[in-house]
Structure 1
Amino acid sequence: MAAPEETDRGPGVVVPPPVIVGAVLLAAWLLGRAVPVPVAPPLRLPGLVVAGLGVALGGWALALMLRAGTDPRPDRPAARLIESGPFRFSRNPIYLGFLVFAAGLALRWGDLWGWLAVAVIGVLLDRLVVRREERYLRRRFGSAYEAYAARVRRWI
């Protein structure tokens, strides 16, 4: 019989989160060009700052995962449960970083499509990735994950 580490296939996420985010943002950008629905003047500099904060948050979480020796890809097994850094205030700081990045683009675009993209990304990440990961982490880390989930919110 194989050891659990040898048979662990991770949470089984099918579509990589960056692909989800990129596809939705591309669709929003294209729709904004084809059928603009302005909701506010484009806020280029604030949008850039917010997008940069999203990249920084995701990068910080990614660096912690790599330093801890756990694969950040959601289709791979988790080696460790990380509870430090941005994982102290969000169980999903990389995905939260994606949402903040998308919000920054929505600010830059000033278009309804950008804000719809933020909502769609949030729903897709939650339903297709986060819930799958949570079920997996409960199986993998048991009571340690349960205690962590009781202390730290899913998003913020």
Structure 2
Amino acid sequence: MKLKIPPAIQVLFCGFIMWLIKKFTSQEHFNFEYQNEMSLILLLIGVILGILAIYSFRKAQTTVDPLSPEKATSLVKSGIYKYSRNPMYLALLFVLLAFLVRLGNLYNLIVIVLYIVFITEFQIKPEEKALTSLFGKHYLKYKMEVRRWI
């Protein structure tokens, strides 16, 4: 792995930066009817995706440790993994989107984009390399069939 910072810590850091941006910027705020409800829906989507992803890993009896993909004992392609190769990171993205909507600050879109770039370069791509080493052509076939995010 290029960088050993757990994705959940990365999301907490992004959330903190988003909060700081909201606190120290007075413009580019937005409000709309049902904003809190929309934020809650996005959060629930993230939580459900995360639970489904972890459940699939547990069912396959393989590691959920994002810092040690080389410890994977099976290639999970069922459940939510039929639709996304990275539903755990997608779940965390939905949590950040929920926070973005709750805070109502457009500048925080920058943080969302940076999260996507960062997690892709420093987490997902190294994981893909490790999984290719472990599972070879089976993983390469899976990569061709299922999108990285959605």
| Counterpart Cα distance in 2 of 1:73 and 1:121 | 19
> Offset of 1:12 from its aligned partner?
6.3
> Where does 1:47-62 land on structure 2 (aligned, <5 Å)?
47-62=39-54
Q: Which residue of 1 aligns with 2:5?
A: 15
Consecutive aligned runs of 4 or more in structure 1 exceeding 3 Å deviation: none
What amino acid sits opposite 1:101 in the alignment?
A: V
| Counterpart Cα distance in 2 of 1:125 and 1:72 | 16
Aligned residues: 146
CA contact (8 A) 2:100 2:108 kept: yes
Structure 1: give runs of 5+ residues left out of the alignment: 1-10
- Alpha-carbon deviations, 1:102-138, whole Å to 9, x = none? 1111111110243222111111110110000000100
Provide TM-score, normalisation by structure 2: 0.90
> Offset of 1:154 from its aligned partner?
0.7
Instruction: Provide closer, same or farther for how the CA distance between residues 78 and 15 of structure 1 changes in structure 2, counting only shifts above 3 A.
Output: same
Provide TM-score, normalisation by structure 1: 0.87
Structure 2: give runs of 5+ residues left out of the alignment: none
| Counterpart Cα distance in 2 of 1:57 and 1:33 | 30
| Counterpart Cα distance in 2 of 1:36 and 1:72 | 40
Percentage of pairs with the same residue: 28
Q: Which of 113, 122, 141 is matched with 2:116 structurally?
A: 122
What amino acid sits opposite 1:33 in the alignment?
A: K
Q: Which of 94, 97, 102 is matched with 1:103 structurally?
A: 97
CA contact (8 A) 1:99 1:118 kept: yes
Q: Which residue of 2 aligns with 1:7?
A: none
* 3-state SS of paired residue (2:128): helix
Q: Which residue of 1 aligns with 2:125?
A: 131
CA contact (8 A) 1:50 1:101 kept: yes
What amino acid sits opposite 2:18 in the alignment?
A: A
| Counterpart Cα distance in 1 of 2:27 and 2:10 | 23
| Counterpart Cα distance in 1 of 2:79 and 2:112 | 24
